Amino acid sequence: MKTTLIKNGTLITAADTFKADVLIEGEQIRLIGENLSAPPEAFVADATGKFLLPGGVDPHCHFDLPMFGTVSSDDHYTGHKAAAFGGTTTVMDFIVQEAQGFEHSVSLWREKSAKAAIDYSFHMNLTRFDEAIAAEIPSLVEMGITTLKVFTAYNGRLRIDDGAIYKALRIAREHGMLVMIHAENGDVIETLIEEALRAGQTSPEWHAHTRPAWSAVEASLRAAALAEMADSPIYIVHMNAGGEADMLQYARERGVKVMGETCPQYLFFTVEHLKRPDGAKWICSPPMRSEADNARLWQALADGTIQTVGTDHCPFFFDGSQPIVYEGQKIAIPGKELGAGDFTKIPNGLPGVQDRLPILWTTGVNSGKITPNQFVALTSTNAAKIFGLYPRKGALVPGADADIVIWDPAKKVTYGVAHSQQRTDYNLYEGWELTGYPEKVFLRGKLIVENEQWHGKAGDGQFLKRAPAAPVI
């Protein structure tokens, strides 16, 4: 059994900060303390002047996802590798609901993820609903999948009606499951898209104009109301409008079991970015909002209204007609050029799984918007708790998986596509000057990232079966 000793670090948890050594035996943390010793053959890493963080947990990713006649450009190897370089060691992907049933759908995604480079779990999209599907939902718990995702938008494609959502919430309550909700008003969106196209308004900013913020605000409160009526917890994904944070606060103050997630893109970018010549790079759903929305979401992270920061990582090439070199091989995947001249045909999604921790450290911790402990809570511990992985993940305690990031708070990086391992041809944070970056990343005790070197491989990742009845935090 391999032994690793990390010495002289400053350990940061969601609640505490203290000097510590960490002794790893095999895949787990054995001891945490000061002046620990290890056998002569142990691998020793000196973390003097560095922080020790639990590996990031990204609850919201899309790998190898078919969309608009193409596919998201990161798969379950390339996306996992990128996550690891950014300090994330656990990711959660969404399974497409196939007509053949949940077991068939899960098996397809298990096949896709055989190349996993870090640990992973799944959520199940619930995009059709009838009595037969309702009866099948509990089988997901036996497969280790305890979360359903529903949509109040994408009429005729992904959306199920409010009555079906309410029924799904009651089933979830009975079986200790959690329902995740994409909250936008699909009826309003479809009306506005039709009107925009009829008027010839097809440039990228119209993606945002046809998905107004109030559509998200209304749908978030409606989701909370459905949860309260069903007495079942919900988790609102990718909250993007300040008014959504207001609705989340309103509902939580009244005892509704509702939690919220935002993503880095909603903290920095606005509809003005969609008006640029390369505006398609910022196309995602829901869209970018305003600077006032950015500020309100930061406030909601700081005061605990929002519980997690995911990424909604779903990258596409900006110009898929031109290949890039990835691991020595040329690759080109059709991307956002498919929507040239029509915003409704631009694949919706952005890269972000590697960016999340470094960007939030520089802009959040270094600026004083959030504390280092809040950083750990928002990027790791809270998601592990909400999705039934804590304390195996999201914690640095004896018995936990040895998913550890040695974080160098002084390391300076000029960030961008050249630095990123995400398999696409652009980066939202091109040229940003960052201070604070991972030095070493361990996955269950194995050193997989060391500065710019990759020691991981396809197949290193394990599927994480999750237990039901996780807490509402």
CATH number of the structural domain spanning residue 76: 3.20.20.140
Q: Within this chain, do residues 146 and 257 fall inside the same structural domain, yes or no?
A: yes
**pLDDT bracket for residue 50 (50, 70, 90):** very high
- Residue 311 and residue 181 share a domain: yes
Token representation of residue 132: 């037969």
Do residues 251 and 228 lie in contact, with contact meaning Cβ atoms separated by under 8 Å?
Answer: yes
Instruction: Give me the pLDDT at residue 78, please.
Output: 98
Position 462 in a domain: no
Judgement on whether residues 215 and 79 belong to the same structural domain of the protein? yes
What does the pLDDT look like over 319-349, one tens digit per residue?
999 999 999 999 999 999 999 999 999 999 9
DSSP assignment string, 335-388 = -GGGGTT-GGGS---B--TTTHHHHHIIIIITTTSS-HHHHHIIIIIHHHHHTT
pLDDT mean over 208-229: 98
What is the predicted pLDDT for the residue at 369?
98
% of the chain beyond a pLDDT of 90: 100
Over residues 93-128, the pLDDT tens digits come to: 999 999 999 999 999 999 999 999 999 999 999 999
**What is the residue-averaged pLDDT of the chain?**
98
Instruction: Give the residue numbers spanning the domain of 59.
Output: 55-386
**Is 437 inside any structural domain?**
yes
CATH code for the domain in which residue 421 is found: 2.30.40.10
- Give me the percent of the chain exceeding a pLDDT of 70: 100
Same domain, 402 and 262: no
82 and 17 housed in the same domain: no
- With bands split at pLDDT 50, 70 and 90, how would you rate the model's confidence at 375? very high
Domain match, 20 and 83 both: no
Closest CA to 351 of 55, 85, 68: 85
Residue 253 in any domain: the answer is yes
Residue 382: pLDDT over 90: yes
Mean pLDDT calculated for residue range 63-81:
97
Q: Is residue 405 part of a domain?
A: yes
Q: Does residue 368 surpass a pLDDT of 90? A: yes
Q: Please indicate, yes or no, if residue 459 is contained in any of the structural domains.
A: no
**Do residues 423 and 375 both lie within one domain?**
no
Q: Which residues of 364-381 are buried (b: 16+ CB within 10 A; e: fewer)?
A: bbeeebbebbbbbbbbbb
**pLDDT value at 1 more than 90:** no
Q: Is residue 467 part of a domain?
A: no
Are 29 and 148 members of one domain?
Answer: no
pLDDT higher than threshold 90 for residue 59: yes
**pLDDT band at 277, cuts 50/70/90?**
very high
> Are 67 and 10 contained in the same domain?
no
Look at residue 143 and tell me if it is in a domain: yes
Q: Are residues 93 and 186 in the same domain?
A: yes
The answer to whether residues 226 and 201 belong to one domain is: yes
The structural domain count of the chain equals 2
Whether residue 44 is found in the same domain as residue 73: no
Q: Is 71 a domain residue?
A: yes
Given the structure tokens 């270094």, which residue do they identify? Answer: 366
Average pLDDT over residues 62-77: 97
Report the SS3 class of residue 121: strand
